[in-house]
Amino acid sequence: MDEMALYPVIGEEGFARLVAAFYRQVPNDDILGPMYPAEDLHGAEERLRDFLIGRFGGPQRYIEQRGHPRLRMRHGPFHIDQAARDRWMKLMDNAFAEAALPAEAEQHLREFLSQVATFMIHQGA
């Protein structure tokens, strides 16, 4: 599936459902909970949602508001080891189960997220 074709398939609503289901789990997670800003979880949810929407052919709100994603740099302050990466993907898998997106869209998105998550692993911080 062409990456750009995902937005027309699942729309704002599909991305919103997935990302909301992910962030609903974050506050109670022992690894990820402490990393995310408790006072601005709603903002964090919006940033990931808008990033994905822009990445997959929807409106470019993320870039308009935040500029170039520079994801490696923006994740620099957080301690992202293999365990944190695997937990992030675990919560995302739960979110996929809840969001019930079309199978092909889910597979494509999961592959993308899994690759980027691995790329975010870094030493330090």
- Given the rule CB under 6 A, which residues bind ligand HEM? 32, 35-37, 40, 44, 47-48, 51, 66, 69, 71, 74-75, 78, 80, 84-85, 88, 113, 116-117, 120
Burial group, residue 36, by CB count within 10 angstroms (0-12, 13-18, 19+): middle
Please check whether residue 40 is in contact with residue 82, taking contact to mean a CB–CB distance below 8 angstroms. Answer: no
Query: Judged by CB, which is closer to ligand HEM: 20, or 78?
Result: 78
Query: Judged by CB, which is closer to ligand HEM: 7, or 88?
Result: 88
Q: In the bound complex, what is the minimum distance in angstroms from residue 13's beta carbon to ligand HEM?
A: 19
Q: In the bound complex, what is the minimum distance in angstroms from residue 7's beta carbon to ligand HEM?
A: 15
Angstrom distance (rounded) from CA 105 to CA 97: 13
Query: Judged by CB, which is closer to ligand HEM: 104, or 111?
Result: 111
Q: In the bound complex, what is the minimum distance in angstroms from residue 67's beta carbon to ligand HEM?
A: 8
Q: In the bound complex, what is the minimum distance in angstroms from residue 103's beta carbon to ligand HEM?
A: 20
Residue matched to tokens 């709100």: 61
What token pair was written down for 95? Answer: 């979110």
Query: Judged by CB, which is closer to ligand HEM: 61, or 66?
Result: 66
Residue matched to tokens 């995302």: 92
Nearest residue to 52 (alpha-carbon basis) of 102, 95, 18: 18
Nearest residue to 123 (alpha-carbon basis) of 91, 90, 85: 85
